[in-house]
Every structure is written in structure tokens, then in C-alpha cells.
Copies of this chain bind each other. A is one copy, B any other.
């Protein structure tokens, strides 16, 4: 198994963790200004072909970096994100910056205030370098339909990054920045993280406030983070969340195994979606020893699918009703077609779906059973070519959008914290392992992820 710590495209932050960068910054081996200059240069040159960034704020980033350096020199240390360059998905508001939602409707929109998560990012000392490509209005898991064009996968630029936090996945995977913010309504952080070979964390619902984030579906939208490793995601999460997970509470987890403190169950991927067997095998290997295996019952899966679709359709149609009436031609045709269908969902189906979320909570509890963490592939297929909408997995014809969302969306319906970590490569393309926990189980979730990542280090000897 190859460790996907670097794809064919490598940038200044390839193979660098936040810990690593923080040590260099504090030891005087680098400066925030230098890191920021490296990021800006990589975005403008080699990274440009990936279309990971939409708008870059070179002057603002340089200024923020200068302040971060001054503060460190003055003994003011804001913690693990201090001086770290970061990308922000192009539908999270950044005061004074162009934020387009990946849409022609907002081609020249300038945000008037920072989103809550951006304000927290700045307060933690991070340097916002620019906005990263989003699938149009975050309404799609492929990441290949955006007013500014498709984001491209650093492992093969002819392939999609996955989405909707497409540019965030590409930017971190290509080493353009060590950290990016995304949003995840049905998998939009985890899917691009998995297909691009980085880690991505969708926290429990509401754990990072969504104020100032352009909505897709308010009761499913989660703000999340993408970085090289789960440990990096944890550092970023702790800087952004209302209730951080102290790193030492993760450190204090003694054992992750079948009899230890964190019990991991393998969720059979074929019980969620037809899965490429090579993907399933790679994820299963990465998961290591597990305490048992579970399957989602078909009727529960069906209820998850119907519920997700109904909730998202109703809420998304409500967000876009005025634009749909006033300027339908500004939507990408695929989004327009989907929105028009979504606008027809009857209210009673939406309300029934909201009620079903209660019932699904009970089904999920039964599924989790004695396990603290469930493990399954993040995405059942490899990154498809840009524009592909049909593919094949496990011997079946599949719809690409449905496949991309197949393993991830149930955990949005329930608001459970879920993490993807790199699991290996198949045909030179990354595979992600998804780990899912109960709200409140974040320390165990990250302990399980650490176990997976350390297993890969032992296997490949590539990570420090």
C-alpha cells in the first residue's frame, strides 16, 4: 500500500503537518510571512492548473502574516494555527473579499463581514490566503460545476476532486496550503478529502457555528476542516469549535482494538452502496483490527436516502426560490434542473422526513450497538473523470452523485461527527477511510484515526 501523503503534484506544504510547521515557526526556522509567500507563489504558479483557488488576497494575507510574526516575536502565541496559511471555501464569508458561492449569481459579490468560523480562524492566528473553489452553491458532490470552472484532482487533473469543498481538497492535497475550511451537507468535506487523499472532519451538527456561511440545507449543513492528517484536523477543530476536544483527551485513550477503550466496528460498505472491491479492501486494510462487523438494513438505508433527499430538497429550494424565479438562466443547467425538481417536493414529505430523523437516530443507535466508532470507506469509488455522471462499481452501473454521497450523507442526517483519513491508493488514486462516532465521542474518534494513521506509518515508513 502506498501512503498518499503526496500526489504527483507536490507543493510547499506537501508532507507538512501543523505540528511540524508550528515547531519550525516557534524555533525561528521559518516565519508566517515566509509560509504565506510560499502558499501564494504555489497557488499562482504550479497550483494554478488545479483551479483550487477562486480569489486570492495576497496583500491581506501578507499583512496578516506580518502581524502573526510580530505577535510571536512579542511572545503572543495564539496556538497551533498561529501563522498557518489557510484556504476558505468560496461560500464562507470573508469581510471585504469576493465570495461567489461558485455561482454567476454572485460573480461580483463582496462579503461585508467575516463568517463566525473565519473570525475564529483569524482569532487563532491563521492567515487567510483566499477562497477555494466550491461546486456551484455547494449543490453537488462532484466539484466539477462551478462558475469559475471545475477544480482538478492533484493526483490526476483529468479527474474530479469530489465536492462540494472541491478547491479545499485540491489545495491541501497539492500542498498549496496546510489547512482549509469546507462545508459538508451530505459529504462535501469528506468526499473531496477522500478523493484527494487528505484528512477531512465533519464535526457534530452545530459544533462549528455556520453563521455567515451561505446555506445549502440549513439542518444538514456542517462547517468542517481539511488538512494532511486527522491530528491536524483536530487542532483546527479545537480552534473553531464551541466545545473543543482537548488533545490530551485523545492522548489519554489507551487502546483502540477489539477489547480496548475504543471499540471500532466495520460497517460493510456494500450495505450502503455498491462498492469497488479494491476500494473496500484498501479501506478495510487501513482500518486494521476491528471488534466486529455490522450491516445497515436495506429498509434503514432506504429511509436514510429518502430522508436526506427530502430534507435537502426542501431546504435548498427554499434558499434559492427567489433566484429560481428571477434569474434561472444564471444557474448551471445541472443545478437548475435539480432545483426545479427540489422545488416540487411537497411540504408534507419534508415534514415527514424531519420526523424520520428521530426514528433514524434509533436505527443508528442499534447499528452502532457496542461500537464507539464505525469504519467504512468514505467513497465507494475512485475519483471519476471530470463531468462523469455514470460509472460502475461492484459490477453495477451507478450514478456518480449517488455513489459519492452514498457512505457520507447518513451522518449528516443524524449530525454525527465523521472523519475521513487517507487509506491508501488504488490505480494511483487515493482511497479514504471514514470513521463515524456519536456526538460526544470525538476523542475516541480521533484516537481511532490516530491508530489508523500510525498503522500506515508503520506500514510505509513515510510519516513522522
Query: Which A residues contact B (CB, under 8 angstroms)?
Result: 310, 313-315, 317-318, 321, 342-352, 355
Contact = CB atoms under 8 A, between A and B. Distances in A.
A314 B350 contact: yes
B348 A314 contact: yes
B343 A348 contact: yes
Q: Which of A313, A344, A347, A352 has the largest count of B CB atoms less than 10 A from its CB?
A: A347
A344 B346 CA distance: 6
A307 to B, nearest CB: 13
6 contacts: A314-B350, A321-B352, A342-B348, A343-B346, A345-B347, A350-B350
A351 B352 CA distance: 14
Contacts of A342: 348
Given A314-B346, A317-B346, A321-B349, 12 more contacts: A314-B347, A314-B351, A315-B347, A315-B351, A317-B347, A317-B348, A318-B347, A318-B351, A342-B348, A343-B348, A346-B347, A347-B347
A314 B346 CA distance: 8
A345 B346 contact: yes
A219 to B, nearest CB: 10
- Stoichiometry, as copies per complex, reads 2
Contacts of A348: 314, 317-318, 321, 342-343, 345
Contacts of A350: 314, 347, 350-351
Contacts of A310: 347
Nearest to A321: B348
Contacts of A346: 314, 317, 343-347
Please give me the 9 A-B residue pairs with the lowest Cβ-Cβ distance, nearest first.
A314-B347, A347-B350, A318-B351, A317-B348, A318-B348, A345-B347, A347-B347, A321-B348, A318-B352
Contacts of A344: 346
Contacts of A313: 347
Nearest to A355: B318
Contacts of A315: 347, 351
Nearest to A315: B351
A319 to B, nearest CB: 8
Contacts of A351: 314-315, 318, 350
Q: Which of A315, A321, A351, A352 has the largest count of B CB atoms less than 10 A from its CB?
A: A351
A323 to B, nearest CB: 12
A210 to B, nearest CB: 16
A371 B72 CA distance: 57
A422 to B, nearest CB: 38
Contacts of A345: 346-348
A434 B260 CA distance: 66
A52 B314 CA distance: 41
Nearest to A322: B352
Contacts of A318: 347-348, 351-352, 355
A346 B314 CA distance: 8
A25 B379 CA distance: 73
Q: Which of A313, A315, A343, A346 has the largest count of B CB atoms less than 10 A from its CB?
A: A346
Contacts of A314: 346-348, 350-351
Nearest to A345: B347
A321 B346 CA distance: 11
Nearest to A324: B348
A313 B347 CA distance: 8
A322 to B, nearest CB: 9
A347 B318 CA distance: 8
Nearest to A311: B347
A344 B347 CA distance: 7
A24 B342 CA distance: 63
A341 to B, nearest CB: 11
Contacts of A321: 348-349, 352
Nearest to A354: B318
